[in-house]
Structure 1
């Protein structure tokens, strides 16, 4: 997964106005206590980040 696809998925589920805020402020335990933005900066693979976001947002399996 590319970073652009990660952002597209976040926007699809959170909306364009909230996705960036959520990615910068919500700490995810599955990302070792990082936010999405921090994980991206640290080089965590986008697929790993999406899985953590998917879990946190309690999205259906079809969106995994």
Structure 2
């Protein structure tokens, strides 16, 4: 989909030690004024990780700093 929209995908790696969950600090380091879309899957496949409420709240605070970003 990103290629169809002439966009550049940025994939943030996750690890088994973090239960394959995205870290809000890592997300913040990758966002910039060109960022337009965040795709966040919970539960995520194939590992089935579910984001806990507190981590989703941290991610929401990070996203709120980027008004052009659609989640």
TM-score scaled to structure 2, two decimals?
A: 0.26
TM-score scaled to structure 1, two decimals?
A: 0.28
